Structure formats: C-alpha cells, structure tokens
Structure 1
C-alpha cells in the first residue's frame, strides 16, 4: 500500500480555493513519470533526426526525372516512397531487450521470432538477392571521396563525413524550420533548394549528384549510424552506377540492423533502420493492436 502524505494550503493568487500539495512517494512517482516522458520524447526526436527522413524526401523530390528513373532501375524507388513513421521508442527498446544474440532472434515467452528476408521485401521493397554488399576497408577514404563526391572526409583515416556537409552539397544547407512555416512549406522549400543545384542533364555532374544522394540514403537509412556523421564505406560500390542495382541492399539493411540489436541493452535505440522493426512487430504481434489485417 502506498502511503501518501498531503496537506491543504491556500494560494494567495487563487483566493480561498484549496490546493493539495502532495509529498512522499506520490511526488517521487510524479517526478519519475515526468522524467520518463521527457526521456521518451528526447529518444523519439533523436531517432527521427538520426534518420533524416524529411530531408531525404525533400532532396528526392528535387531530383530531375532522369535521376528518379535511374533510382527506379536500381530498385530504390519503393524504399524512397515509404511514408515517414513516428518512432515507437518503447516498442523498439522492448524488442532490443528481448534480442537473443546467440540465436539472432527475439526471445518471447512462446519461443523465438525474427524478421525474415521476406518481411524485408514486403516492408521496404529493397532487393535481398544479388551480390553481397561487401568490399575492402581502406586506411584513407580521402581520394575516393574527393574524386567521386567532391567532398572532404573528417580526418585522414576517417570513413565518415558530416551529414550537414553532404546535405549542403545537395542544396539543403539548412534544415531548420522557419518561424510560422508549416510542414508543407518546409518540405517545398527544401525541395526547391535541392532542385536549384541539381544537374539537369546527364553527365559527370549528374553522376556526382546521384552518388551524393545514394551515400546519404545508404549512410542514414540503410546502414545508418548513430549521430550526425554519414559513413561512406560503401562508396567504392557506387563508382560504377550501372551496377548499383545488382547488390542486395535489403539483405545488408537486415544484417546491419541485427548487428545493432546486439549492442548493450543499456544503449537506447538502434543504429539501423528502426521502422522495419516497428512494422514487423505491428504485423506479427497482433496483441499490440496496431497491425493491419492481411
């Protein structure tokens, strides 16, 4: 039984209306609940900003038609047309805590369950068959980054580039929403900014634009990392744009997500594409009451 201490006081600003001031365990509970609410909101915002979904959507909308057709030929169009999903932080963290690293599956009271390649295709539309997304790790990425993207890495031995730098190279120098600006106006402004710097005809400049965009998509969505920097270890795979569609990007996304789930449960969130986990759980855990009837 919770013991509740309380006293009634009169507030000078409220006249004779009594105000109940709680103390003891109830105050501690209220404070803890408020702290948890703020933490969940912060994690939700952090997960959403980590993906940078709105920015990628806006840049995608600014691509010329011939670039959109190239992305469609590579198999990325269904993935890029996914609607943004608000992070369900509690669900993601609960799934992470049930991850069994030895079996690479979620451990539930009734047994193990795991997202499959079939789930990956149905949810994201990315290819799961084809060449493996693998390659050589270089001691320095400065040369390929300068040659293929026209950018500079963070350090001599780094494989990361600041997301803001990559976005700025695609025309979106600032992602801050202006005062009084609605979501539609915000997206339209970023799309127009991106469209203004994109090469309008095929050629070396257009190839560079597409590699920059693919680096952002792969580095923030498919093989996402925690924090602002975008990884470009896959950049050598983008040198020959005609072969990009031959790789199993969906399988790489799933493997990267599984690897992220294997980190300590004390670490909040995951580095991979968390919407896959949410949609998978909504479909396969009907007790949540959030799935869609098949």
Structure 2
C-alpha cells in the first residue's frame, strides 16, 4: 500500500472519532501528527539519502562527514514525545490469539480494521478523505465505554502499524499490540524515540528501494532543513508547529532515474557552506509543550528501543550539530542486537526485550551519555573519516576529488620524503669524501689497488658514477619535497576555506541584519583561498610533468654507447 494512501486511511479514522476520543489520542502524544498536511512523497530524495546511510555507524556518510537525525529532529519536526519509558516488551511468533482478544477481530486470511472504500473516478483527495471519514463514523461508538476502548485500540494498531511504523506491503503488523492492553499507559512510552529507531532500520534496507518505511515526511523535512540547497521542499506555511506543517515536497516531473542522478551529483558537490548543522537556533518553544520534557534527552548519545529493534543514536559522530568542533572518535562496529533479516515474522520465539536488552534500557533510563569535545579543529576527524570511507561517500558518476584523503596521504608522504632526503645527503657526503681520498692517493695507493685486482682510475670512475647517482637522487627528492610543500600549502588553503565556510555558516544562522558586509567580505576571502588552492594544484601538476620530461632526457643521455668494435 502506498504511503500516502495509508496516511489518508489513518487520518480518516481519526477525523471520524468523536471529540472525547480525539482528546485521548492527544493525551497519548499523537495529536500533532494529525495536524500535518498530507505531503507528497519524494522517492528520489528518500533513495538518495538511503544510499548514503552507513548501517554500521547508524549515520549518513556525506562528503563533509557524518550527519544523524536526532531526537530533537523528531520532536521538532513531528511533535512526537521522545521522553518516557523505552518502547520495549514481549514479541511473539504469532499474534492471532492476542488480536482476537484485544481487537475482537476474527483472524482469517485478512481482516480489515477500517471499512474498505476505494477512491472514485474524478474524486479529489479532500473529497475522498471526507467520504472515508463519514463511512468510518458509522462504525464508531459515540460515548465512552468498552466499545469506545475497542475502537481506540483498533485505531492505535492501524496508526502504529500503517503510518508511524509502517512496513512494506498492505498488512498491518500487531507487534505493538501487547503495549496497548492498558490504554492508560500508552502515553507514557517514548514513541518518538522508537520511531527514530524504526527510521534507522528502514534506512539500512537496500538503497535500490524507492519506498520508505514509517512516517515519510520526517526524513524529507529533515533534508529540507539541513540541506536547503537541494531545493526539494517548498516552505508553504511559515511559523507553524510542529515544523513538518510548514513544508511540502517540491513537485518534480522528471523521471525517477533522472531525479536520482541529479540528486547524487548535487550532494557530491554540495557546498559545505550551505550545510545547516543547527537549524533550530532561531526556533522558540512557543506552542510546543512537549519540548520541555524532551530537552534533557537532546544532544546525548543513547540507545533507542522499538521492541526487537535496539539501535544506537551515535551523536558523538556529529558534534558539529551541537555547536562543537568534531573530535577524533572510534567509528562504531556492528552490534549483536541488529537483526539479520528484514521481516518481523522472522521472530520465531517469544522474547522479553526488557530482559534481553536490560543494559541498553538502563542506558535509556539514564538518558545516555552527554557529548563533549575539546577539539579546536575538525582536521583530525576529517582525515580519519577520509581514510575510513574514501570515495565511498560519492555516488554520482563524476566523483569529486577526495581532498581530505589526499591531505592524509600527503602528510605521510612528506615525512617519508624528508627522511629519504636526509639519508641521500649523508650518502652523498660520504661518497664525496671517498672520491677525494682516492684522487689524492699516489703511487703507494695505486699499487695496493692493483694488488686487490683493480686500478685507481676504475675505482675513481665507479665512485664518480655513485656520486652522480646520489646527486640525481637528491635532486629528485628535492623536487618531490618542493612538490609536497606546495601540496601542503594547498592543504593549508583548503583548511582556511573550511574554517571560513564554518564561520560564514555560523554567521548565516546568527547574524543580525547589519552583518551583511561581513558576510560579503568572508565570501570574497573564501573565493580568494579557493583560487589559491587551485593555482597551487596547477603548480604541482606542472612540476610533476617537468620532472617526467627531465627524467626522460636523463635516461636518453645516460644510455651506454656501443663499443667501438661491435657490429
């Protein structure tokens, strides 16, 4: 079932509820979702982002470093609660008996939670929604009581299984049903944190999938806020909360393949200056009471729980999103709680995840661990990042230069060249001394040389040849040193570009209206540094070509002449 159709069905069921039932849904923390307008699905953006997801790190791997959707993103974009008890409990190999008891539905091949009503020809989306709501209203209890509780339980299964934690296909899974047995406890769970774990799990699927799991507007709006230069979203309604209410996806009529190719190219060449690490700096808390209790969870690395999904939120990989410099960190490795399969039906045993994941639940109850950094620059992290990912961070056909990887390798190369040059200088000095000693040897020295089977002139020629070879090696090392020094200057220029980029990005977010001249000045300096970096790279290339030509000339001049008597 398409995600937008699922949204329409769930929204129709919510609108069909009498006011007292809607209030109960609000008290559970789900009301803000139903204030969000139905957004167009952007499968190209979803697929482009999924291709950048590193399941091992639970993070996006972009050319400029890791980025991770956070609990603050969930809270501000969707309005879901990210505080409370971990969404954990029992999972069962079969839910038939539980569904019959709690939902009063006969479990046959397929049972419907809502009346089936297809869209009529020529019917608009709003007309279809209104008709579905009218049809559903006839089936719902209008007064509190056991039947109203049953209606609410059925609705929550539909909402959780087909919208918030949707999976591929039409079936509505019942894995959260055990948590709905006591409706008074439903609002005490951190459903927003469970939703984020489900998003991480969905991103780990094959990058060829164009459908998305769960509430798809979240990931789209996250990209609109953090990567605005992609221009995939339209800011239609300003000032509304949660933030997803402000946006709709940009209509793109091109073929999906063409959209995806353009998105890959745009992300590969995305200007670092336009990456928004802290999109909520100018946002207040007005009209968002759920943020008060959620704030202690922001900016912390913590384990997320959605029953059998136990996944890490590794915010220590994205310290820049907290206004810090990114320090060098150990990149995560795969955890034993990751499921090997994609299907929830693969759970063949009854499992108590509160017991199996006890240590991780305690981590959630402690609100994880705060993120700190003493780094004054991102350079060391970027070098380690480049060594780990290399060109894997580029997805377009025309890969960009891996600048950080080049910097890391050039630093090691420069150290090696310095050591080789010092060794060559010592060898040249020793050979010069030996040559001078041989040239100064008189008859006695010649006699001893002859007794050893050689001649002074032959020894002198050999030493002279060795000196020439050593001098040539030294010249070669000096050329390499000069080239590498130029590359280091290019590296310095790149570093200055990055620092100016960061400074300008900060000004973009924080600057008052009077700072436009400062931004223009920084842009000019940034352009000058980029020009310098390109010029240095051209110089390095010219030196390399010149050295290749000089080597060819030396090889020809040193080719041995044939003996005069040869034929």
TM bucket (normalised to shorter chain) is: 0.7 to 0.9
SS of the counterpart of 2:137?
A: helix
Q: Which residue of 2 aligns with 1:66?
A: 20
Matched, 1:46 2:10: no
Partner Cα distance (1:180, 1:90) in 2: 27
Q: Which has the larger radius of gyration?
A: 2
Which of 190, 196, 200 is equivalent to 1:248? 190
Matched, 1:271 2:213: yes
Partner Cα distance (1:260, 1:205) in 2: 35
Matched, 1:178 2:120: yes
Q: Which residue of 1 aligns with 2:151?
A: 209
Residues 219, 230 of structure 1: 8 Å contact kept: yes
Matched, 1:142 2:96: yes
Residues 142, 148 of structure 2: 8 Å contact kept: yes
Q: Which residue of 2 aligns with 1:133?
A: 87
Residues 260, 270 of structure 1: 8 Å contact kept: yes
Q: Which residue of 1 aligns with 2:537?
A: none
- Structure 1: tracts of 5 or more residues without a match: 1-44, 156-160
- Structure 2: tracts of 5 or more residues without a match: 239-281, 283-567
SS of the counterpart of 2:33?
A: helix
Shift of 1:166: 1.3
Partner Cα distance (1:94, 1:147) in 2: 43
Residues 222, 249 of structure 1: 8 Å contact kept: no
Q: Which residue of 1 aligns with 2:512?
A: none
Residues 88, 278 of structure 1: 8 Å contact kept: yes
Q: Which residue of 2 aligns with 1:229?
A: 171
SS of the counterpart of 1:66?
A: helix
Which of 113, 123, 129 is equivalent to 1:166? 113
Is the alpha carbon distance of 1:271 and 1:182 closer, same or farther for their aligned partners in structure 2, counting shifts above 3 Å? closer
Q: Which residue of 2 aligns with 1:16?
A: none
Name the one with the larger helix percent.
2
Which one has more relative contact order, counting CA pairs under 8 Å at least 6 apart?
Answer: 1
Is the alpha carbon distance of 1:177 and 1:247 closer, same or farther for their aligned partners in structure 2, counting shifts above 3 Å? same
TM-score under structure 2 length normalisation: 0.40
Q: Deviations over 1:12-52 (max 9, x none)?
A: xxxxxxxxxxxxxxxxxxxxxxxxxxxxxxxxx93433xx1
Q: Which residue of 2 aligns with 1:77?
A: 31
Partner Cα distance (2:142, 2:119) in 1: 27
Q: Deviations over 1:233-276 (max 9, x none)?
A: 11011110001000111111110110111122233323222211
Q: Which residue of 1 aligns with 2:55?
A: 101
Partner Cα distance (1:211, 1:193) in 2: 19
Shift of 1:154: 5.2
TM-score under structure 1 length normalisation: 0.76
Q: Which residue of 1 aligns with 2:43?
A: 89
How many residue pairs get matched?
236
Residues 47, 209 of structure 2: 8 Å contact kept: no
